[in-house]
Amino acid sequence: MRLLDWPLPEKITHFTPSSYETFRKCALQGVLSRSPQYKEFIYLNPKTLIGSVCHRIIESLGRGNFDDVQEGKLAEEIDKQYDELCSDLFVKSKNSIYPTQYSSPQKWPGYYMRLARLKVITHKLYQARKSNRSVIRTSGQFIEKQIEVFGGKLKGRPDRVVFVSSNEILIEDYKSGVIFDDESRILISIKQQMLFYSAILHKAFPEKRLRFRIVPFKGQPYEEIVDIKQANALAEKVVELLNEVNSIITGIESSSRSFHDLANPEIQNCRICSFKFRCNRYFDHSFPESELVSIRGNFIDFEQNTITLSVTTTTINQIVKIRHLSEPKYVFLRTLIVGTFVIFTEVKRVVSQGNILLFEPTIRTIALYE
């Protein structure tokens, strides 16, 4: 497969809590994840796929799409939608760049356990909606639509917004994964997301106090009174980052800057990034050795399903072999000419042969040439 060209540089119009989180960690990752061509390279494991299905169902329930379902039939309806959405993603994942290891979505780890938790949480949410006491309905604008403030630069839609009293608003969000870190503190990413929503709601209802509640699929909910100063400080940072990214994009358009100026290499992020193959900053960075690595170098030969490359980076300067490349997707390697620049993602290190570093492909390996 040939290395993709860079996408067309496009200004970012707004951030949501999740896009802000991505861009905050690495703006290059954020920009590439918006390009349809690059999206194909995002590796989605079953855990992520199930999480997105759960979130879609909760969001749908929050919009009132289950209001006409009888309470006794709710579990059955959740079963049906969960099965349909997972099956749909399963078909898509079968046709993706990364072949699936599973014969059906029901074989995904955690399939039934997450469904059981989803049923519990959706039942609670269903009852809360039916109680008719406090979901914001004043003008119908906040339950169905995204809330936009700061000239449209911040947008977001919490799972549920509640008027607790005439002067207090509760922001509720449902989480399918863990919500606390190792020291039992709420995860920073979740806190930031809640502050993001709070900044938006404060702008819309400046006279009201705000509180947020995180409802995990498993375990007790977590509640906190919002510190408005913190929320506003976050909103300022969001707008600042948006302007900074757009200024680099303007530079890319005029060729005075490069896409690499958006990169922010950090081990935690880069380890799971799907776009390493395009990122010079990743290859230039000296990360601690890990079992899975991405390699790029100049083609020397391809024999007995083993490619030999000459690799020169800040961390490696030697001959590398990658063996067991027998799958049809690697056939093109036979046709490469000496010196062609080749990139392999996520190969696994095995015992070296003398001075030669030896690797093998994994399910996440993609081979590209430039």
Total number of residues that touch ligand SF4 (CB under 6 A) = 14
d(CA 235, CA 179): 22
Nearer to ligand SF4, 154 or 262 (CB): 262
The interface region with ligand SF4, picked from 111-119, 174-182, 263-271, 344-352 by CB under 6 A, is 263-271
Taking contact as CB under 6 A, which single stretch among the options 108-116, 220-228, 258-266, 299-307 is the one that binds ligand SF4? 258-266
Rounded (10°) angle between helices 188-204 and 17-25:
130
Residue of 45, 230, 269, 308 interacting with ligand SF4 (CB under 6 A):
269
Tell me the closest approach of the beta carbon of residue 23 to ligand SF4, in angstroms: 10
Q: CA-to-CA distance for 350 and 318, rounded, in angstroms?
A: 16
Name the one range near ligand SF4 by CB under 6 A: 94-102, 202-210, 247-255, 262-270. 262-270
Give the binding range for ligand SF4 (CB under 6 A) out of 25-33, 45-53, 233-241, 349-357.
Answer: 25-33
- Contacting residue, 143, 179, 279, 366, with ligand SF4 by CB under 6 A: 279
Interacting span for ligand SF4 (CB under 6 A) from 109-117, 197-205, 257-265, 343-351: 257-265
User: Looking at 66, 197, 282, 299, which residue binds ligand SF4 (CB under 6 A)?
Assistant: 282
The structure tokens listed for 228 are: 């408005």
Q: Give residues 29-58 in contact with ligand SF4 (rule: CB under 6 A).
A: 29
What is the b/e burial string over 275-304, where b = at least 16 CB atoms within 10 angstroms of the residue's CB?
Answer: bbbbbebbbebeeeeeeebbbbbebbebee
Residue pair 290/271 in contact (Cβ under 8 Å)? The answer is yes
| Residue 296 lies near ligand SF4 (rule: CB under 6 A) | no
Q: Strand 209-216 and strand 168-175: pairing?
A: parallel
Token pair of 179 as six digits: 């919500």
Residue 270 engages ligand SF4 in binding (rule: CB under 6 A): yes
Contact criterion met (CB below 8 Å) for 17 and 156: yes
* 369 touches 341 (CB < 8 A): yes
Regarding 28 and contact with ligand SF4 (CB under 6 A), the answer is yes
Query: With binding defined as CB under 6 A, does residue 276 bind ligand SF4?
Result: yes
**Residue 180, exposed/middle/buried by CB under 10 A (0-12, 13-18, 19+)?**
middle
Q: At which residue do the structure tokens 């690495």 appear? A: 26
Query: To the nearest whole angstrom, how small is the minimum distance from the Cβ of residue 64 to ligand SF4?
Result: 38
The residue from 12, 89, 235, 263 that contacts ligand SF4 (CB under 6 A) is: 263
Sheet order of strands, 209-216 included: 160-165, 168-175, 209-216, 222-225
Q: Which stretch binds ligand SF4 (CB under 6 A): 168-176, 267-275, 313-321, 323-331?
A: 267-275
**In the complex, what is the shortest distance from the CB of residue 280 to ligand SF4, in angstroms, rounded to a whole number?**
8
Give the nearer residue to ligand SF4 in terms of CB position, either 36 or 151.
36
As a whole number of angstroms, the distance between CA 364 and CA 276 comes to: 12
Provide, rounded to whole angstroms, the least separation between the CB of residue 276 and ligand SF4: 4
From candidates 12, 125, 154, 273, binder to ligand SF4 by CB under 6 A: 273
**Please, which residue, 230 or 264, has the CB nearer to ligand SF4?**
264
Check if the beta carbon of residue 78 is closer than 8 Å to that of residue 42. Answer: no
Contact between residue 241 and residue 20 where contact means Cβ atoms under 8 Å apart? yes
Q: Which residues pair with 353 in a beta bridge?
A: 356
**Would you tell me which residues interact with ligand SF4 (CB under 6 A)?**
26, 28-29, 263-265, 269-270, 273, 275-276, 279, 281-282
